[in-house]
Amino acid sequence: MSTVQTIRGPIDSSQLGRTLSHEHLTTGAIGMERLPWVYNEDDCVNAGIDALRRARAAGVDSILDLTPLDLGRQPSMFQRVAAADTGVNVVCATGVYRWVPSYFFGMDPDDIADHFLREIRDGIEGTPIRPGIIKIAWDLEYRLADGPNPASTPRANLERTARGAARAAKAGGVPISCHTLATDELGTPLLDIFEDEGLDLRAVTIGHSNDSSNLDYLKGIAARGANVGLDRFGTRRTQEELDRRCQLALDLAQAGYAEQVCLGHDGSPYGRFGAGRTTTTDCWLPVPQIEVPWLLAHGASQDDVDAMQRRSIRATFEAAAAMAGGAAK
Ligand SMILES: [Zn+2]
């Protein structure tokens, strides 16, 4: 057992229950709250409370909100959602998204770790809300490794943030969840860096992995100890694509890796990210209402499903806390 910080305060890891591993109450960009034609806090709060209540009714106990500052994190919204008592634990994040903000340029990994640890220990943006997890994001920018100054390429910036995240995770006792471009199999070089930093890879989730169809790649992540985040799943996809994503979860369970598979949607009831803004408050229902019944109907055991929904994410929190001496601090 270990302590997990939520937007309503600390809980024990045993209270996480059925957890959606990668979601967003809102998502967009830093500063969007200053643009009333992009973001309205009342609407966001209402949508978030409604979506959390729908998720609770479908059996969801916890969500991980993986929205760092530069992806549009909104602490005052968190405080209002927390006051509503939806019955769902919400864990929020520190960290950095894929377009590393310029205030990180030139920082060494220890400086970046201190930046994350400041939020982990003191709370986010002047509130008492403490993040329970570190989010980082490796996407297309990782391909940009050439430039006049090799230390300032997009890849170099991503590598430094990963090292900073690893050091903050070890010192602060919180896990890391990673947005990755799965088709480029970026989980592999990312885990190489974490390993080089001496991080216990059981505290890591390599997310968006069900955007890949390469089962060997996914098994390789699990074989190194990390969690495989099958965390993109929603009804805007075709039935064929949903079936493929369900099959991937089943294949990993049947390969013996259910304890290292976690499920989610990357969904938001008030998404402000790009033109495809999602607004449905049913965004967190497809896993409990489509994927889990599919798995049980196609040969997964209830224990496999419990591993994927209840135990895999809990284990990342407990492994992280153990690195920091037994408790998140
Ligand atoms: Zn996301």
Report if residue 41 sits inside a domain.
yes
3-state secondary structure of 23: strand
Asked whether the whole model's pTM tops 0.85, one would answer yes
The answer as to whether 212 is a domain residue is yes
Q: Could you give the C-alpha distances from 238 to 126, 241, 270, 310, in angstroms and in order?
A: 43, 5, 22, 27
Residue 291: DSSP 8-state: I
The domain that holds 97 is classified in CATH as 3.20.20.140
Query: Cα of 66 to ligand 1 centre, how many Å?
Result: 6
CA of 270 to the centre of ligand 1 (A): 13
Count of domains observed in the chain: 1
| Residue 328 belongs to a domain | no
43: in domain: yes
For residue 294, give the nearest of 312, 308, 313 by alpha carbon.
308
Q: How far is the CA of 180 from the centre of ligand 1 (A)?
A: 10
* Alpha carbon of residue 287 to chain centroid: 15
Within-domain flag for 34: yes
- For residue 265, report the distance from its CA to the centre of ligand 1, in Å: 8
pLDDT tens-digit profile of 116-169?
999 999 999 999 999 999 999 999 999 999 999 988 999 999 999 999 999 999
Q: For residue 57, report the distance from its CA to the centre of ligand 1, in Å.
A: 23
CA of 260 to the centre of ligand 1 (A): 19
Amino acid, res. 141: E
Range of 158's domain?
A: 3-323
Residue 231 CA to residue 266 CA, distance in Å, equals: 6
For residues 262 and 204, what is the distance between their CA atoms, to the nearest angstrom?
11
| Å from CA of 135 to ligand 1 middle | 9
Give the total residue count for the chain.
Answer: 329
329, part of any domain: no
Q: Which residues of 237-262 are buried (b: 16+ CB within 10 A; e: fewer)?
A: eeeeebeebbbbbbebbeeebbbbbb
Distance 227 CA to ligand 1 centre (A): 16
What are the pLDDT digits (tens) for 284-310? 999 999 999 999 999 999 999 999 999
